[in-house]
């Protein structure tokens, strides 16, 4: 355990930042969190408009045990902070050819429905999910729970276990190629290709290793946090404050102070804040360039392809649609072209795939009676100078036209209130370089090893957590990155 008088500062109060603060507090550090916004949560935020409540960022909740682990570690009863329920379905899929499929939470039922509706042999799906589970169980311990940049990770049983689960296809084939060999129907191939978007990648370039992602959703299940996704932020924030963590909002960090190769604190509002260690939950490119002034390290990061970003419409809809569920996907007819537009041409798709999340489906009070709160997300390129204000009207028309055709209603006429989030706004609000949601993409075989480590190799007592570093973006991986940081700190103190 660390001495009680040891201090730590955390830059950014995203999920990973708060999780890291909680873990350090449990190690008896005096922790302060500095956040440039006036609220905690980073991308996992919330707003209300004209009687409609919207989760502003991530909308999928899996692996709740990673949240529960923080409360167990702190010796607190999670029921006093947070509650959730398991969803009976994972997603509703609308294909361009008119076919529709609701994915049951039970893999066997989902496979049978896919066989009946789409003609995909059920055994193909059950075998695929079995391999995904095996891949996760063999590689998860090594690749997701440990730093890939420490020699100790590659010693002993974890490596042997990972090698036993390795298949050449996971690295030598793209996810699309891997799925093409696994499935017979274009619909199921497309459905499983979409999991590359969970870390902002292209299924036609990212490795087959990403076939592990469906395991988390289809084998382990999806969940709904009561109160919406913002309740995760609220629970972690309350837990952290109950442990004595101090939060400073509207307090943008100006620099990380380094002396003799060691991080000794930060500067905020021209005031020096000393600390025994510094943990950054901010985008690692921003940190290297703006807080450390290391142009060489920053340039190395942006040599890697950025992940995709998102364009989000928050719509208050004056009608309830029984055909829709909590999670809904409306696929494009030409998936490969959509990803070429995103990653090669950096442009909008003429026929974008559309994701809609509607929390009003599971909880009253999220929208006026008889209405629904639509979180409408489209995968788009990272911000490289596009005129997003001009693109808003174009994209809205494409999305409204697509949804109106599928649902048989003039969606545009039902929109009572609207807010918009584009890549440039994401960049401005979260310091995510180019507005890319996950830092770098996984569009190469070695992407996992090229992702920035959770520690600085040149500056001692400086650590990194969050979606732009190992093991990646999304709530589960961000929570894991916080654990990796805490483990590294513990090992350092044990030396």
Q: What digits encode the pLDDT tens for the residues 370-394? A: 999 999 999 999 999 999 999 999 9
Tell whether the model's pLDDT for residue 29 goes beyond 50.
yes
At 359 the pLDDT is 98
Which of 390, 299, 380, 304 shows the shortest CA–CA distance to 343? 380
In sequence order, which residues have a C-beta less than 8 Å from that of residue 468 and are 6 or more positions away? 283, 284, 285, 432, 433, 438, 439, 440, 452
Q: What is the CA radius of gyration of the chain?
A: 22
Answer yes or no: is pLDDT of 445 > 90: no
111 token code pair: 């496979």
pLDDT exceeds 50 at position 1 = no
* Per-residue tokens: 300: 């190395």
Average pLDDT for 55-60: 95
pLDDT digits (tens, 9 = 90+) for 234-282: 999 999 999 999 999 999 999 999 999 999 999 999 999 999 999 999 9
Contact 338, 310 (CB under 8 A): no
CA distance 239 to 199: 28
Domains and CATH numbers, the chain: 7-44+72-84+228-305+442-494 (3.50.50.60), 109-214 (no CATH)
pLDDT at 154 over 60: no
Residue % of the chain over a pLDDT of 70 = 93
* Closest by CA position to 121, among listed 182, 205, 43: 182
Q: Considering only residues 306 and 17, tell me which one the structure prediction assigns the higher pLDDT.
A: 17
Instruction: Answer yes or no: is pLDDT of 119 > 50.
Output: yes
- The residue-averaged pLDDT of 399-405 equals 98
Average the pLDDT over each of 70-74, 98-102, 205-209 and give the range with the smallest value.
205-209
Q: Which of 93, 55, 94, 54 is nearest to 416 (CA)?
A: 54
Residue 495 pLDDT: 43
**pLDDT of 226:** 97
Alpha-carbon span 199 to 148, nearest angstrom: 18
The better pLDDT of the pair 300, 231 is held by: 231
What is the rounded average pLDDT for all residues in the chain? 93
- pLDDT computed for residue 169 by the predictor: 73
In this structure, are residues 148 and 472 in contact, taking their beta carbons and an 8 Å threshold?
Answer: no
Beta partners for residue 223, in sequence order: 61, 86
Question: For the segment 340-376, what is each residue's pLDDT rounded down to a tens digit?
Answer: 999 999 999 999 999 999 999 999 999 999 999 999 9
pLDDT of residue 55: 97
Tell me how long the chain is: 495
Give the model's confidence band at 479: pLDDT under 50 very low, under 70 low, under 90 confident, else very high.
very high
Q: Quick one: how far is CA 354 from the chain centroid?
A: 17
415-437: average pLDDT: 94
pLDDT at 302: 84
| 11-20 residue pLDDT tens | 999 999 999 9
Confidence of residue 158 (pLDDT cuts 50, 70, 90): low
Average confidence (pLDDT) over 126-145: 86
Does residue 458 have a cis bond before it (omega within 30 degrees)? no
Greater confidence (360 vs 441) lies with 360
Q: What is the mean pLDDT of residues 106-127?
A: 98
């Amino acid at each position: 355990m660390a001495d009680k008088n040891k201090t730590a500062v955390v830059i950014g109060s995203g999920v990973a930042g708060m999780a890291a603060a909680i873990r350090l507090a449990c190690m008896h550090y005096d922790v302060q969190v500095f956040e440039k916004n006036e609220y905690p949560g980073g991308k996992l935020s919330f707003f209300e408009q004209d009687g409609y409540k919207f989760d502003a960022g991530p909308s999928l909740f899996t692996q709740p045990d990673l949240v529960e682990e923080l409360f167990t570690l702190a010796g607190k009863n999670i029921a006093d902070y947070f509650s959730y329920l398991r969803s009976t379905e994972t997603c509703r899929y609308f294909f361009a050819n008119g076919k529709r499929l609701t994915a049951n939470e039970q893999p066997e039922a989902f496979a049978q429905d896919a066989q009946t509706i789409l003609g995909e042999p059920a055994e193909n799906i059950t075998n695929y999910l079995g391999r995904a589970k095996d891949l996760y169980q063999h590689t998860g311990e090594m690749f997701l729970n440990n730093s890939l940049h420490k020699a100790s990770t590659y010693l002993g049983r974890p490596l042997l276990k990972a090698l036993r689960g390795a298949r050449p296809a996971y690295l030598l084939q793209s996810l699309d190629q891997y799925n093409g060999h696994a499935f017979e129907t274009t619909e199921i191939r497309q459905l499983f290709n979409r999991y590359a978007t969970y870390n902002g990648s292209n299924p036609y370039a990212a490795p087959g290793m990403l076939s592990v992602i469906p395991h988390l959703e289809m084998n382990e299940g999806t969940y709904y946090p009561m109160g919406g996704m913002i309740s995760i932020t609220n629970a972690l924030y309350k837990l952290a404050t109950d442990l004595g963590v101090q939060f400073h909002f509207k307090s943008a960090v100006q620099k990380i102070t380094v002396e003799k190769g060691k991080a000794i604190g930060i500067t905020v509002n021209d005031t020096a804040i000393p600390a025994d260690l510094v943990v950054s939950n901010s985008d690692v490119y921003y940190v290297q360039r703006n807080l450390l002034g290391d142009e060489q390290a920053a340039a190395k990061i942006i040599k890697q392809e950025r992940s995709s970003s998102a364009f989000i419409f928050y719509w208050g809809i004056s009608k309830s649609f029984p055909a829709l569920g909590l999670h809904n996907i409306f696929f494009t007819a030409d998936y490969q072209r959509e990803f070429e537009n995103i990653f090669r041409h950096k442009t909008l798709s003429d026929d974008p795939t559309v994701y809609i999340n509607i929390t009003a489906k599971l909880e009253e009070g999220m929208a006026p009676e008889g209405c629904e709160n639509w979180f409408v997300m489209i995968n788009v390129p990272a911000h490289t100078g596009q005129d997003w204000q001009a693109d808003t009207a174009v994209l809205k028309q494409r999305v409204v036209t697509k949804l109106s055709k599928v649902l048989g209603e003039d969606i545009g006429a039902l929109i009572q209130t609207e807010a918009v989030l584009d890549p440039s706004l994401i960049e401005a609000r979260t310091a995510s370089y180019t507005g890319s949601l996950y830092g770098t993409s996984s569009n190469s075989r070695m992407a996992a090893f090229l992702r920035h480590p959770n520690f600085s190799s040149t500056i001692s007592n400086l650590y990194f957590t969050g979606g732009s570093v190992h093991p990646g973006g999304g709530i589960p991986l961000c929570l894991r990155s916080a654990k990796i940081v805490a483990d590294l700190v513990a090992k350092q103190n044990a030396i």
